[in-house]
Amino acid sequence: MSELTIKKLALSFGLFSFGFVVIGSIISGATFYTAFLRGSAAILLFGGAAFGLLSLMVEGKNTEPVPETNKTTESENG
């Protein structure tokens, strides 16, 4: 997964959260301004969390395994 894919996924998750929170707030009786502020906080919180977690997951997968060294034991040497 590339860095661009991570950014796209985090942005889409944040925008979905924004819309969900705004619509839920308006249905619950909040004013549009209050709903917009809650949605803005949601996009920062959930989009940032998605970006951070996906970055950590990709960083962990990009590490190359350490090659094994051929260690000889005393019984093999004679």
The pLDDT tens digits for 55-67 are 888 776 665 666 6
| Residue with token string 């040497």 | 77
Distance CA 73, CA 75 (A): 5
* CA terminus-to-terminus distance, the chain: 49
pTM: 0.69
The pLDDT tens digits for 17-68 are 999 999 999 999 999 999 999 999 999 999 999 999 988 887 766 656 666 6
| Residue with token string 């940032």 | 48
pLDDT of residue 3: 83
